[in-house]
Amino acid sequence: MRVIIAAAGTAGHINPGIAIANKIKQEEKDSKIIFIGTTRGLENDLVPRAGYELKTIHAYGLSKKISIDNMKKLYKTCKGFGEAKKIVKEFQPDIVIGTGGYICGATISAAHNLHIPTMLHESNSFPGRAVKMLAKKTDTILVSFEEAIARTKNAKKVVHTGTPVKIKKQEYGINEKNRILKEIGLQEIKPIILVSGGSQGAQKINEAIIEIILNKRNKNYQMVWATGPKQYDIVKENLEKNNVSINHIEGMKIVPYIYNMQEMMNVSDVIIGRGGAMTVTEISNLGKPSILVPLPNVSHNHQLYNAKVLENIKAAKIILNDELTGKRLNETIEEIILDKSKMQEMGKNALKVSTSEVEDRIYQEIKLLV
């Protein structure tokens, strides 16, 4: 099978594309797969690292404002349509798949014009611009959440498959769990709260946790906190101003980034994060209670809609970004952990929207289309 995958910008767009590529390779070892992206996004690191060739074209998000900068981006994006068509014609794929980013517009349009089967994967519960613009041109649209089906208008075919993620549910024995906790300096005597604002960190969440530490509110739980590499030094400096050493806070492990995320998510009791599609999917698949602080000012407020998937089934608590304080966050943590039956119920509820065999479902839809 010959496949082109269009994915650009963030890991949330690129990693599903790589997972789909890996599944195709697993099933059909002789497959030829290339990616189309831009010169600016994480695809330039993640795609070659995964062992796939990346070809780049011009593609930009456009604002409604009239400006010289926007006109330049419009010109380059129009140029990108021709670049995409050239790549598609030369590669002659059996199918073109888009998993997110501005790149999908040019690539899916080029394939449609050349009568090549097309597919889009939408990770968010509220479909983005790419799906809205390309619905009529796309043969099959795959969605991560059932809620997205009714929100996908003018589509030929919509299938709920889930989103492929790296983090899998894993049960650890007592000795193994203690080993994992010992390595980060924590014990099993108190609930473990995992905090991660994504690879870049989340400033508002970080500020709330600093407030919790300085007011010594974290007495009933332990915490593993990934600040984000760019914000670690800022957090460290803010703590040191108040005579608190970042490496010597009881029941607290603070790091720039968590590399063993699968282990940490599995041994944690409650997860605090944003409302990205990958995060929500991983939490539901693991069956963990969560506190979600959706990132505001994103397209269609899609992180809030993602978070509501879990809130609506009483699996998560949502705190809006503007309403987040250390006091509010601490109260919400304690509301969950001090009621064990409630904590367990939230975890069970999260599993109700979990998805399994995602890669298999997606591969079957690809085979049907090809």
Say which DSSP state 299 is in: G
Tens of pLDDT, residue by residue over 14-47, are 999 999 999 999 999 999 999 999 988 889 999 9
Q: What is the mean pLDDT of the chain?
A: 91
Q: Could you check whether 2-163+356-369 and 174-351 share the same CATH topology?
A: yes
**Other Cβ atoms closer than 10 A to 172:** 14
Q: Does 120 have pLDDT greater than 60?
A: yes
Distance CA 313, CA 287 (A): 12
Question: What CATH number does the domain located at 174-351 have?
Answer: 3.40.50.2000
Q: Which is it for the CA torsion 90, 96, 98, 102, positive or negative?
A: positive
How do the domains of the chain map onto residue ranges?
2-163+356-369, 174-351
Tens of pLDDT, residue by residue over 237-296, are 999 999 999 999 999 999 998 889 999 999 999 999 999 999 999 999 999 999 999 998
Backbone phi, psi, residue 252, to 5°: -140, 125
Tens of pLDDT, residue by residue over 307-350, are 999 999 999 999 999 999 999 999 999 999 999 999 999 999 99
Token pair 């799906």 is found at: 131
Q: Domain spanning 2-163+356-369: which superfamily? A: Glycogen Phosphorylase B; (3.40.50.2000)
Residue 245 identity: S
**216 Cβ contact list (under 8 Å, min separation 6):** none
- Contact yes or no for 102/79 (Cβ under 8 A): no
Distance of alpha carbon 59 from its chain centroid, rounded?
Answer: 22
